[in-house]
Amino acid sequence: MEWDWEFVWQIMPTLLEGFKITILATVLGAAVAAVLGLAIAIARRSPVTAISRTVGFICEFIRGTPLLVQLYFIFYVLPDIGIRLPPLVAGVIGIGLHYATYTAEVYRAGIENVPRGQWEAAKAANLTTRQAWIHVVLPQAVPPMIPALANYFIAMFKETPLLSAITVLELMNQAKSIANSNYRYIEPMTLVGVFFLAVSLVSVVGLRWLEERYARMDD
C-alpha cells in the first residue's frame, strides 16, 4: 500500500483535534503530578512512622504496577462505589497519580540536598515548620529539580496514548478510529509517531536549556 498525501491532509484536522486533548491531558496530569508529588515527598518525611511507611508502600505499589491497569481500575472500579468520572478526568487522575510517585523521588532528592544548617537556622529564627518549608527549604530545593521534573513530564506526554484505552478521544484514539473506518493504517499511525517524535525532539532542546538555566547545584 502506498503513502497517500491526499489522505494525510484529509485526516489532519481530526488528528490535530486529538492532539489538543493530548496536550490538555499532559498539562493537567503534570499539574496533578507536581502537586501530589510534593505532598507525597513531604508525607514520606513525616516523623510519624505509620504515615511515612504507608505512603512509602503505596508509592512502591503504584510504581510496580502498569499505568494501564491503574487507569482501568480508576475507570471501571470506582463507579461501583459511586464515583463516576468522565474519561478525561479519570485519565488525568491516573496519569498524575502514577507520575506523582516518580516526581516524589525528585522532590525527595532535592529536599535532602538542602543543607541541614538551613533547617537549624530556620529553627533558630523561630520559624514554624510550615514557614521553614515555604520560605527556606522549598525555594532552595525546587530550582535544581526543574530539569528532572521536566524530564518526567516529557515521559508523561509519551504515556498519554494509554488514555485511549479508557475512551479518551486523544491523538491515538482519533488515529485508531480513522484507521478503522478507512482501513488505512499507515498514514494515521505513522503521523501519530511523527507528532510524538517532533514534540519529544523539541522538548529535548527545551530540557537542555532548563538544565543550563537551573541545574547548577554548586552556587
Partner 1 sequence: MIDWSGYLTLILEGALVTLQLTVMGSALALVMAFLAGLGRLSRFFVVRALATTYIEFFRGTSIFVQLFWVYFVLPFAGLTLTPLQAGVLALGLNVGAYAAEVVRGAVKAVGREQTEACVALNLSRYQRMRHVILPQALPLMLPTFCNNAIELLKGTAVVSLISLTDLTFQAQVVRAQTGNTLIPFTTILILYFAMAWAISIGMRWLERRMSRSLDGVRT
Tell me the C-alpha distance between 55 and 188, whole Å.
41
Of 176, 177, 211, 214, which one interacts with partner 1 (CB under 8 A)?
176
In the complex, least distance from residue 112 CB atom to partner 1, rounded to whole angstroms: 18
Total chain residues near partner 1 (CB under 8 A): 35
Q: Which stretch binds partner 1 (CB under 8 A): 5-13, 60-68, 103-111, 116-124?
A: 60-68
Please report whether residue 165 would count as binding partner 1 according to CB under 8 A: yes
| Phi, psi dihedral angles at 216 (to 5 degrees) | -80, 100
Q: Does 167 bind partner 1 (CB under 8 A)?
A: no
Rounded to whole angstroms, what are the CA distances from 12 to 15, 158, 178, 188, 191?
5, 20, 10, 9, 9
Kindly state whether residue 83 participates in binding partner 1, applying the rule CB under 8 A.
no
- Per CB under 8 A, the segment of 5-13, 44-52, 56-64, 120-128 that binds partner 1 is 56-64
Secondary structure (3-state) at 167? coil
> Hey, which residues between 62 and 81 contact partner 1 (CB under 8 A)?
63-70, 72-73, 76-77, 80
115 versus 193: smaller Cβ distance to partner 1: 193
Cell reading at 75: 475507570
User: Is residue 117 near partner 1 by the rule CB under 8 A?
Assistant: no
Residue 201 contacts partner 1 per CB under 8 A: yes
Binding of partner 1 by 196 (CB under 8 A): yes
Q: What does the chain come to in residues?
A: 219
CB closer to partner 1, 46 vs 167: 167
Please report, for residues 17, 36, 114, 154, 176, the alpha-carbon distance to residue 196 in angstroms, rounded to integers and kept in the order given.
Answer: 15, 26, 36, 10, 15
Cβ-based neighbour number of residue 180 at 10 Å: 11
Residues 180, 166: Cα–Cα separation, whole Å: 17
Q: Which of 127, 182, 192 is nearest to 158 (CA)?
A: 192
* 190 is a site residue for partner 1 (CB under 8 A): yes
| Cell 527556606 belongs to residue | 136
Residue from 31, 61, 84, 131 binding partner 1 (CB under 8 A): 61
Residues 15-54 as x/- pattern, contact with partner 1 by CB under 8 A: ----------------------------------------
